[in-house]
């Protein structure tokens, strides 16, 4: 096939993955009946069944009793989209607004509102993360065997070699899932389940045409694929984080309706019953109260069933408070770079050279200097962005054209605009918000994306030169960036809006220029792979790592696994200096959370901060939710008046998020010993600016495995003048023994 055709497909895809036009208010309408909209309805459980769980027929009858009574009762049954059994006491149903209103007025109905649509938010990553065959978490007895990862995504291209099952054991006996692909061995011991939860007119198997789900599934648990590359770059053996884990795909998105809330809840509902161990969701709705957030609701049921849930933090950075998936029972994953670049440089007539990246690297491009022009030199914003059609009156023929990144459309289309008007190459310059983050994209012409700072220098040279010239020099795959990991511009930042007393994101992991399985070849290579970026990519890395930990420590709870990942995270980059952000300034705690995942260390954390599902009840009461709202999450009656609510920061979380006013705050934390039976730990504090801290006791000796010890921390404000002009501060509290360091990060927001 022609490269340009692939590239256009790719342009659309990258547009979808990158642009993330979150559209929480667009309701998926029924195509046959425009009055009917899918509603998510939460109901109370019938009084008679207190305590006992309902049999499915009773549940079915109870849910059906809420359906509107009309003359055409046969149609009514078809209106039921899903009956939930695990994630909610409730169902999804197609209703007219009048019917919905009538339903809302019933005493047993907790809420009924139209469903929303959610947006979608690796050859080298294992070795970058220190995962080597035969060592540590990737030793002979592990690689995630016996663990099932449920990926809730756009579907899967099941024929990719990443999903071969050579050498894979059968799934564990508890697995009860289904495969909706018909045809011999499409599902196998690697891809053990595949379902399409979207209710469409024609029932279709869970194939996909985005390849987002194919990519994320392969990142979490793809098998070893030798000699993987894209355009020959990033070549090596590709593998997911847990190459021996099983994959179950639950399709909840298509290009017609997006990712629907009813399907996401259904996927989580079914996955829990199927017996998955880990759920991976690279999608989200933005910040919402947890009782109104379908992923938070489904994830709560998941952790009640011992299922670990990893979610993308969203791609709305670098502004503060731009997170999705903030619930404390979810691992919220931000994105950072790896130490590999698909490198190229812009070389100017004055000899200056500026490093950048591109995935399309023609080897016949001349290094002779060509005339250089800035498309925005005329002051027209749309020309500066090389918006389609905006260069037609400009003289760019035969030139290297500078275009600004951004504008809400794919950079590939900018290259197309340059090409269409006779330009021969493109230098893409970052806006300040993107800083030093660069992306290896399959441009349609010789191109390179350079940093904001480089862009200013290049434009300055154009301004000051009578006849500016430039060319692009392609450098291929370059490994060894000592600044990696660096937090990428788009990675969403805290503080959490839904629960400011919990630090989010929790962790960062590889999410920039990640090579993994794809459904069509972008470069005529077999196997088909692609290099893409997003927190959509970092989330499944952590899902796979959670599977490795679950395989190594089957008795650890979801909260214990999360604690192990967070308290052992790296705060330094490969060069040994604090992790930087897209501006190459030290990344703050709202960008990194606990830091960058270190899988091998996470397997041996020494101590964990554990949380039982019921521990969240006093926390939810402390958030100020009503009994009714908490009931949506717990699916049982809760009376906050009879429970001692706790402040958010008192949850036994492996980090602290403090809102500091003028009075001292006092919290406790409970440590569980999962390391050597006998160990003595001493506290080591990095006290945040303008604060005093005292920890009691400051030394703890454990004498048994699984022994629990509680300590207290007091945060003491100092005079306001000590804060200077800072609005927040950060620090850490680390329990240190001869062999372990258990670090919890501390964020402080000054009120």
Ligand X SMILES: *[C@@H]1O[C@H](CO)[C@@H](O)[C@H](O)[C@H]1NC(C)=O
- 153 classed as catalytic: yes
Query: Could you say which of 142, 164, 282, 538 contacts ligand X (CB under 6 A)?
Result: 142
Q: Does 662 bind ligand X (CB under 6 A)?
A: no
Q: Does 598 bind ligand X (CB under 6 A)?
A: no
Q: Does 382 bind ligand X (CB under 6 A)?
A: yes
Query: Could you say which of 20, 120, 131, 137 contacts ligand X (CB under 6 A)?
Result: 137
Task: Name 702's bridge partners.
Answer: 679
Supply 477's token pair. 């795959």
Whole-angstrom distance, CA of residue 552 vs CA of residue 557: 12
Q: Does 730 bind ligand X (CB under 6 A)?
A: no
Query: Could you say which of 399, 459, 562, 740 contacts ligand X (CB under 6 A)?
Result: 459
* Among the listed residues 331, 262, 329, 281, the one whose alpha carbon sits nearest the alpha carbon of residue 302: 329
Q: Does 456 bind ligand X (CB under 6 A)?
A: yes
Binding mask 93-132 for ligand X (x = CB under 6 A): ----------------------------------------
Q: Which stretch binds ligand X (CB under 6 A): 244-252, 364-372, 375-383, 481-489?
A: 375-383
| C-beta closer to ligand X: residue 227 or 682 | 227
- Active-site pick, 121, 212, 246, 596: 212
Q: Is the peptide bond before 318 cis (omega within 30 degrees of 0)?
A: yes
Q: Does 363 bind ligand X (CB under 6 A)?
A: no
Binding mask 519-538 for ligand X (x = CB under 6 A): ------x-------------
| SS3 call for 105 | coil
| C-beta closer to ligand X: residue 251 or 459 | 459
> Do the beta carbons of residue 83 and residue 59 sit within 8 Å?
yes
CB-based contacts of 595, cutoff 8 Å, min separation 6: 507, 508, 569, 570, 571, 579, 745
Q: Given the structure tokens 């330094």, which residue do they identify? A: 572
**Sign of the CA dihedral 93, 94, 97, 103?**
negative
* Among the listed residues 600, 19, 590, 671, the one whose alpha carbon sits nearest the alpha carbon of residue 332: 590
What letter would DSSP give residue 102? Answer: H
Q: Which stretch binds ligand X (CB under 6 A): 100-108, 137-145, 575-583, 632-640?
A: 137-145
In degrees to the nearest 10, what's the CA dihedral of 640, 646, 652, 654?
120
Q: Does 689 bind ligand X (CB under 6 A)?
A: no
* DSSP E strands, 186-232: 191-196, 225-230
Query: Could you say which of 383, 570, 592, 673 contacts ligand X (CB under 6 A)?
Result: 383
Task: Name 679's bridge partners.
Answer: 702
| C-beta closer to ligand X: residue 236 or 495 | 236
* Alpha-helix residue ranges (DSSP H) falling in 222-278: 261-274
| SS3 call for 363 | coil
Q: Which stretch binds ligand X (CB under 6 A): 383-391, 561-569, 585-593, 702-710?
A: 383-391
Number of residues that bind ligand X (CB under 6 A): 23
**Interior/surface letters 219-252, b for 16+ CB within 10 angstroms, e for the rest:** bbbbbbbeebbbbebbbbebbbbbbbbbbbbbbb
Site residues (CB under 6 A) for ligand X, limited to 549-588: 552
| C-beta closer to ligand X: residue 136 or 618 | 136
- Active-site pick, 229, 536, 737, 747: 536
Q: Does 141 bind ligand X (CB under 6 A)?
A: yes
Site residues (CB under 6 A) for ligand X, limited to 230-259: 232
Q: Catalog residues that contact ligand X under the rule CB under 6 A.
A: 137, 139-142, 227, 229, 232, 380, 382-383, 389-390, 393, 456, 459-460, 463, 525, 552, 603, 724-725
Residues taking part in catalysis: 153, 212, 536
């Amino acid at each position: 096939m022609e490269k340009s055709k692939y590239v256009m497909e790719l342009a659309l895809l990258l547009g979808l993955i990158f642009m993330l036009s979150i559209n929480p208010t667009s309701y998926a309408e029924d195509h046959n009946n425009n009055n009917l909209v899918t509603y998510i309805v939460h109901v109370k459980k019938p009084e008679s069944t207190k305590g006992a769980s309902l049999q499915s027929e009773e549940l079915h009858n109870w849910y059906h009793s809420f359906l509107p009574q009309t003359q055409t009762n046969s149609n009514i049954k078809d209106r039921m989209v899903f009956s939930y059994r695990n994630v909610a006491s409730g169902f999804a149903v197609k209703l007219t607004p009048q019917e919905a209103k009538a339903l809302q007025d019933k005493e047993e109905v907790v809420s009924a509102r139209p469903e929303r649509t959610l947006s979608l938010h690796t050859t080298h990553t294992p070795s970058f993360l220190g995962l080597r065959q035969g060592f540590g978490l990737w030793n002979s007895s592990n690689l995630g065997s016996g663990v099932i990862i449920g990926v809730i995504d756009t579907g899967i291209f099941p024929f990719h070699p990443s999903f071969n099952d050579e050498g894979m054991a059968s799934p564990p006996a508890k697995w009860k899932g289904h495969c909706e692909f018909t045809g011999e061995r499409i599902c196998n011991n690697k891809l053990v389940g595949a379902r399409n939860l979207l209710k469409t007119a024609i029932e279709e198997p869970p194939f996909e045409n985005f390849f987002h789900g194919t990519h994320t599934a392969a990142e979490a648990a793809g098998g070893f694929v030798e000699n993987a590359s894209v355009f020959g770059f990033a070549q090596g053996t590709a593998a997911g984080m847990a190459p021996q884990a099983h994959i179950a795909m639950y399709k909840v998105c298509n290009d017609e309706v997006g990712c629907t809330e009813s399907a996401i809840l259904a996927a989580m509902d079914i996955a829990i019953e199927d017996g998955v161990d880990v759920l991976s969701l690279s999608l989200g709705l933005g910040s919402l109260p947890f009782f109104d957030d379908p992923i938070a609701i489904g994830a709560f049921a998941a952790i009640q069933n011992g299922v670990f849930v990893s979610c993308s933090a969203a791609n709305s950075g670098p502004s503060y408070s731009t997170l999705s998936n903030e619930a404390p029972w979810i691992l919220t994953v931000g994105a950072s770079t790896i130490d590999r670049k698909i490198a190229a440089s812009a070389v100017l007539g004055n000899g200056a050279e500026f490093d950048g990246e591109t995935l399309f690297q023609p080897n016949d491009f001349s290094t002779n200097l060509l005339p250089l022009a800035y498309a925005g030199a005329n002051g027209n914003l749309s020309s500066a962005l090389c918006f389609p059609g905006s260069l037609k009156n400009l003289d760019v023929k035969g030139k290297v054209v500078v275009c600004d990144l951004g504008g809400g459309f794919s950079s590939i289309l900018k290259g197309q605009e340059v090409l269409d008007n006779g330009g021969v190459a493109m230098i893409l310059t970052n806006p300040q918000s993107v800083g030093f983050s660069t992306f290896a994209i399959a441009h349609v012409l010789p191109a390179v994306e350079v940093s904001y700072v480089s862009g200013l220098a290049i434009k300055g040279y154009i301004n000051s030169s009578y006849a500016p010239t430039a060319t692009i020099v392609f450098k291929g795959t370059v490994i060894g960036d000592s600044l990696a990991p660096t937090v990428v511009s788009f990675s969403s930042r805290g503080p959490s809006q839904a629960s400011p007393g919990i630090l989010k994101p929790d962790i960062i992991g590889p999410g920039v220029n990640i090579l993994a399985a794809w459904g069509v070849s972008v470069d005529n290579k077999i196997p088909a792979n692609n290099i893409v970026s997003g927190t959509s990519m970092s989330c499944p890395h952590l899902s796979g790592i959670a599977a490795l930990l679950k395989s190594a420590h089957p008795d650890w709870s979801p909260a214990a696994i999360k604690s192990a990942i967070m308290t052992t995270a790296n705060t330094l980059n490969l060069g040994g200096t604090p992790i930087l952000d897209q501006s190459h300034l030290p990344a703050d705690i709202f960008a990194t959370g606990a830091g960058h995942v270190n899988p091998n260390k996470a397997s041996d954390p020494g101590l964990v901060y554990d949380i039982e599902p019921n521990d969240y009840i006093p926390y939810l009461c402390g958030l100020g939710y009503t009994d009714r709202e908490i009931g949506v999450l717990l699916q049982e009656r809760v009376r906050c008046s009879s429970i001692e609510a706790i402040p958010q920061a008192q949850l036994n979380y492996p980090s602290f998020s403090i809102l500091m006013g003028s009075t001292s705050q006092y919290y406790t934390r409970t440590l569980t010993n999962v390391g050597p039976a006998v160990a003595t730990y001493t506290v080591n504090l990095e006290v945040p600016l303008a604060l005093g801290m005292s920890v009691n006791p400051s030394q703890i000796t454990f004498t048994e495995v699984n022994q629990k010890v509680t300590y207290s921390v007091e945060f003491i404000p100092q005079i306001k003048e000590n804060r200077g002009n800072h609005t927040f501060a950060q620090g850490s509290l680390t329990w240190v023994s001869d062999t372990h360091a258990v670090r919890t990060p501390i964020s402080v927001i000054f009120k």
